[in-house]
Amino acid sequence: YNYTKLAIPDLNQVRVYSSNRNTSGFVPEAKDIAAAITQGAGFVDFEGHGSPLSWATHWNDGSWNSGIVITEFWRIRNGEKQPVVVIGGCHNAMYNISILPAMKDKSGATYFTYGLPGPVCFSWWLVIKPYGGAIASTGCTGYGMGYEGNPVSLSGELESNFFYEIGHGSTNLAQAHSRAIQKFIAEEEIGQIEAFCITNWALLGDPSLMLGGYSS
């Protein structure tokens, strides 16, 4: 948020946090996630755990919450107020999923839906859903990675870099995505794990989309 505000000063942050559980604030469950996005947003950042069909995270006590699954996207009714959505989680952008192969994969070894039908992945469904959703999204086509105790590492570092680049001169999606990777390569020692995180971090949407809107 602090990075993107450098480029778009009018941004206001809306927190959808597990720590809001005993308050009146939004929490990361389907109803509140949808309500927050429906209000309209420039950017949305999901950080948690995923599958091709869902995203979720933990409550403060470590127990799971329900997050949101693609069958609940009907709740999101933001019309043309569509954000760029950055999704931190495993397999959310597994764009090679389809219904029959996913249903046949009862063990979840290949498509990670455990027999549930998956017409498209979480990240892409947000982009193509009617009556709102996202104008573009990012996500991991495979496992999202990170070092324990350091949320801004590996896949999480790439996602943080994306926002950093928006605040430091990137004017369209392609620049923000590619420069986030370049920053990662410049700052980290690249081994197999780092290379994996780079290659499975996908941008879904028009790469020429200008950030901050178009002049009328």
What integer pLDDT is reported at residue 213 of this predicted model? 76
Asked if residue 103 belongs to a domain, the reply is yes
Asked if residue 114 belongs to a domain, the reply is yes
What integer pLDDT is reported at residue 215 of this predicted model? 78
Q: What 3-state class would DSSP assign to 10?
A: coil
Asked if residue 148 belongs to a domain, the reply is yes
Instruction: Report residue 190 as tokens.
Output: 């690249």
What integer pLDDT is reported at residue 1 of this predicted model? 87
- Over the stretch 158-194, which tens digit does the pLDDT of each residue have? 999 999 999 999 999 999 999 999 999 999 999 999 9
Asked if residue 211 belongs to a domain, the reply is no
Which run of H or of E encompasses 3?
helix 2-7
Instruction: Report residue 143 as tokens.
Output: 């496992």
CATH number at residue 188: 3.40.50.1460
Kindly give the parts of the chain with pLDDT less than 70. none
The residue segments making up the domain with residue 167 are 2-204
E strands, 75-165, are 84-88, 136-140
Q: Concatenated DSSP letters for 18-80?
A: GGGTTSSS--SBHHHHHHHHHT--SEEEEESEEETTEEE-B-TTS-B--BEEGGGGGG---TT
What integer pLDDT is reported at residue 212 of this predicted model? 79
Residue 190 and residue 84: Cα distance in Å, rounded? 28
Asked if residue 212 belongs to a domain, the reply is no
How many domains is the chain partitioned into structurally?
1
Name which of 184, 143, 141 is nearest 160 in CA terms.
184
CA 9 to chain centre: 22
Asked if residue 100 belongs to a domain, the reply is yes
Asked if residue 216 belongs to a domain, the reply is no
Asked if residue 214 belongs to a domain, the reply is no
Which run of H or of E encompasses 157?
helix 155-167
